[in-house]
Amino acid sequence: MSFVIIPDASCALTKDLRERFHIPAYVKAKIMFPDGTEHVADLDWEEISADEYFRSMAEDKAIYKSGMAGIENSIATYEQFLKEGQDVLAVSLSSGLSGNYGLAVKACEALKEKYPDRKIIVVDSKRYSGVIAAMIAKADELKQEGKTIEEVAEWLENNRNRYHQMGPMDDLNFLCRTGRINNFKAFFGTLVGVNSLGDFNPNGLTDVLGKAKGKPKAIAATIEYVKRTIEEPENQIVFIAHSYRAETAEELRRRVEEELHPKEIIMARIDMSCGANVGPGMAAVFYYGKEISPDLAEEKKIMEEITK
């Protein structure tokens, strides 16, 4: 049976990328602006540009608050395809970061009663933004190969802990404020010139693995870490995304292209919804690699060797 892949607003896929990867819709989210007004956290930056959004955080210390749009929004998004006789594979933001997954599950439970002959599967990505984009790209590839909705969902669930992020983060204030990063205080990530380097843990949160003084050292450490943890770069699409660090992202792109030779590199921006919590200081490589160890013991060992 035909099925569609529906992510939520935390996937960093702009219109051109959604068209490329056959994503017909996404579950929108809410964003509260600094003036207290409520807006739609859309993926296409129609109301405010990405630069303006993140610049206001960097220069004016503006605070934006992300939120879910409600179960009715999820139901309406999924139902338009169920009505057409298509099944739905929903991919949500990490349950470790948000209630999006639980909301999607509730929406699908309600719809299964109305459409008992349709299949509705929800996958908790355990990831966010650029990694969800990479997972969606792979899911579409599997779908185009003829895999069933069950096979694609199973692959995502079995491989989500093989998706990594790595890159210099020079302002952890936003992540720390919302509790979306572990062991922040131990690494003093807000000291001038200090770049924290983190990867996902199996629970879908980011753990700081190490730190580097200065951007060149941080970029060098990033590339070395990616080299040691990536698998078959020549067969995968690597995403590089940033919030408000275009120069760093471009340097990462150059180094990844020259030293790792992936099948393709896609440059993106951290989406509005995740960006409210990430803040302006992020540039990272998002890729598929070795399975992350349960307590990040192997990853911490690798980063310790690199930063020494």
Domain span at 52 = 3-159
Q: Taking a C-beta distance cutoff of 8 angstroms, is the pair 238, 138 a contact?
A: no
In total, how many domains does the chain have? 2
Cα separation, 1 vs 125, in Å, equals 23
Cα separation, 1 vs 147, in Å, equals 10
Question: Do residues 133 and 184 share a domain?
Answer: no
pLDDT digit string, tens, across residues 176-205 = 665 555 545 444 445 557 898 999 999 998
> What is the 3-state composition of the chain as percent helix, strand, coil, each rounded to the nearest 5?
45, 25, 35
Question: Do residues 202 and 120 share a domain?
Answer: no
Cα separation, 24 vs 11, in Å, equals 14
| Start-to-end C-alpha separation, the chain | 53
Mean pLDDT for the chain overall? 93
pLDDT digit string, tens, across residues 101-127 = 999 999 999 999 999 999 999 999 999
For residue 237, the SS3 value is: strand
Out of 125, 159, 193, a domain closes at 159
Q: Taking a C-beta distance cutoff of 8 angstroms, is the pair 19, 165 a contact?
A: no
Question: CB count, 10 Å around CB of 139?
Answer: 25
Question: Do residues 34 and 75 share a domain?
Answer: yes
26 conformational bin, left if phi > 0, alpha if psi -120 to 50, beta if neither: beta
pLDDT digit string, tens, across residues 113-170 = 999 999 999 999 999 999 999 999 999 999 999 999 999 999 999 999 999 999 999 8
Cα separation, 222 vs 58, in Å, equals 23
Q: Return the DSSP state at 267.
A: E
Question: Do residues 13 and 35 share a domain?
Answer: yes
Q: What is the dihedral of CA 177, 182, 187, 190, to 10 degrees?
A: -20
Question: Do residues 219 and 115 share a domain?
Answer: no
What is the pLDDT confidence band of residue 59, given thresholds at 50, 70 and 90?
very high
Helical pair 149-159 and 129-144, crossing angle rounded to 10 deg = 140
Report the CATH number at residue 33.
3.40.50.10170
Question: Do residues 131 and 261 share a domain?
Answer: no
Out of 159, 189, 213, a domain closes at 159
Question: Do residues 115 and 165 share a domain?
Answer: no
Question: Do residues 150 and 172 share a domain?
Answer: no
Question: Do residues 28 and 52 share a domain?
Answer: yes
Helical pair 215-229 and 297-307, crossing angle rounded to 10 deg = 140
State the pLDDT at residue 206. Answer: 87
pLDDT digit string, tens, across residues 249-289 = 999 999 999 999 999 999 999 999 999 988 999 999 999 99
Out of 126, 144, 159, a domain closes at 159
Cα separation, 167 vs 240, in Å, equals 9
Question: Do residues 154 and 213 share a domain?
Answer: no
State the pLDDT at residue 34. Answer: 95
Cα separation, 107 vs 126, in Å, equals 19
What is the pLDDT confidence band of residue 20, given thresholds at 50, 70 and 90?
very high
Tokens 């509260």 label which residue? 32
Cα separation, 27 vs 78, in Å, equals 8
Mean pLDDT calculated for residue range 84-102? 94
Cα separation, 17 vs 135, in Å, equals 13
Question: Do residues 150 and 32 share a domain?
Answer: yes
Question: Do residues 76 and 28 share a domain?
Answer: yes
Q: Taking a C-beta distance cutoff of 8 angstroms, is the pair 106, 71 a contact?
A: yes
Report the CATH number at residue 297.
3.30.1180.10
